[in-house]
């Protein structure tokens, strides 16, 4: 087990001393995740249900975040919107991680023409604006919830591929890999059993930051109205709220605050992990 794996294991077991950013990130992300998972238990109204005769209700004990222009409970929509954001973030990055890991490990291990071809494809994809590319994909194939996840996953893999390639280039030169080659171990076992477990911990902080990026892309698509209207979305709520800012400020404030909390929490978690896994940053 290398140093990064050991550090992550200690964090999981609760035996490692955490820096303030990492500790704060874990707390915030844990609370937000709990809200997403427990959404049916901590809300009183279905998120998209119209409450007859109650549009633009100011926040009160029955509707803590008020109601929107159609009389829907904003609190319920925000909680379910958090669930949507987390589902999109983690699902899209799971797709990106699969593609990026496959490309990075093939390029880093085999090198040569395979590496040249895969890295040129990666570079071309990397220079394209992520948000614009996701917007084009969703516009072409339809703004369903599944298509949005796939589109964000497709535009998010290049950075992971580059990091994974760099780790493979470094680790494949180590003695234990040379020994595995010398005894005739198949490439598949070397890649999946020897190199990948040692390369993966270095990519985890970047993956967490990519979850953050995926959530922001989904919110941006929703803000432009390119979202599934049948699924609660914080971005879509902000899109609706912009035309009622002077009438119902709460329609924009509460979704915006919760979206900001998610982004800050994931940033703290990712930055804290980077600091925790880097001894020089940790000492500083």
Chain segment 185-199, per-residue pLDDT in tens: 898 999 988 899 888
Which of 5-9, 23-27, 85-89, 251-255 shows the lowest mean pLDDT across its residues? 5-9
pLDDT at residue number 214: 95
Stretch 213-242: mean pLDDT: 93
pLDDT band at 50 (very low <50, low <70, confident <90, very high): confident
Q: Is 67 helix (H, G, I), strand (E, B) or coil?
A: strand
Q: Mean of the per-residue pLDDT values for the chain?
A: 89
Higher per-residue pLDDT: 283 or 172: 172
pLDDT band at 3 (very low <50, low <70, confident <90, very high): low
* Domains recognised in the chain with CATH numbers: 3-283 (1.10.3720.10)
Smallest CA-to-CA distance from 214 within 176, 162, 160 is with 160
pLDDT at residue number 253: 95
pLDDT at residue number 256: 95
Looking at the predicted structure, is the pLDDT value of residue 284 above 80?
no
Around 260, how many Cα atoms within 13 Å sit in the side-chain half-sphere? 7
pLDDT band at 181 (very low <50, low <70, confident <90, very high): confident
**Confidence (pTM):** 0.89
**Distance in angstroms (rounded) separating the CA atoms of residues 133 and 282:** 37
- For 84, phi and psi rounded to 5 degrees? -60, -45
CB atoms near residue 15 (< 10 Å): 8
Sign of the CA dihedral running 78, 83, 84, 89: positive
Looking at the predicted structure, is the pLDDT value of residue 100 above 90?
yes
Stretch 14-27: mean pLDDT: 80
**Distance in angstroms (rounded) separating the CA atoms of residues 131 and 220:** 8
Q: What is the largest CA-CA distance in the chain?
A: 76
Stretch 145-166: mean pLDDT: 94
Q: Which residues contact 103 (CB under 8 A, 6 or more apart)?
A: 118, 121, 122, 157, 161, 164, 165
Stretch 259-272: mean pLDDT: 93
DSSP state of 73: B
Name the burial class of residue 10, with classes exposed (0-12), middle (13-18) and buried (19+) by CB atoms within 10 angstroms of its CB: middle
């Amino acid at each position: 087990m290398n140093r990064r794996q050991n550090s992550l294991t200690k964090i999981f077991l609760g035996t490692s001393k955490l820096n303030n950013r990492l500790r704060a990130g874990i707390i915030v992300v844990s609370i937000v995740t709990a809200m997403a998972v427990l959404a049916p238990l901590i809300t009183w109204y279905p998120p998209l249900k119209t409450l007859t005769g109650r549009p633009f209700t100011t926040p009160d004990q029955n509707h803590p975040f008020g109601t929107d222009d159609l009389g829907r409970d904003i609190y319920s929509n925000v909680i379910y919107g958090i669930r949507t954001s987390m589902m999109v973030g983690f699902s899209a990055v799971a797709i990106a991680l699969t593609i990026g890991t496959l490309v990075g490990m093939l390029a880093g291990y085999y090198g040569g023409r395979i590496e040249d071809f895969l890295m040129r494809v990666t570079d071309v994809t990397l220079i394209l604006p992520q948000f614009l590319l996701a917007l084009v994909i969703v516009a072409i194939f339809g703004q369903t919830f599944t298509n949005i996840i796939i589109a964000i996953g497709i535009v998010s893999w290049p950075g992971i591929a580059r990091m994974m390639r760099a780790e493979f280039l470094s680790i494949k030169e180590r003695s234990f890999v040379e020994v595995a080659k010398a005894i005739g171990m198949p490439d598949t076992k070397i890649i999946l059993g020897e190199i990948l477990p040692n390369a993966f911990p270095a990519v985890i902080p970047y993956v967490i930051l990519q979850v953050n990026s995926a959530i922001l892309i989904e919110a941006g698509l929703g803000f432009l109205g390119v979202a599934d209207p049948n699924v609660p979305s914080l971005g879509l709520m902000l899109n609706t709220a912009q035309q009622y800012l002077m009438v119902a400020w709460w329609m924009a404030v509460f979704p915006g605050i919760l979206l900001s909390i998610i982004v800050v929490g994931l940033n703290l978690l990712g930055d804290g992990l980077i600091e925790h896994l880097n001894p020089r940053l940790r000492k500083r």
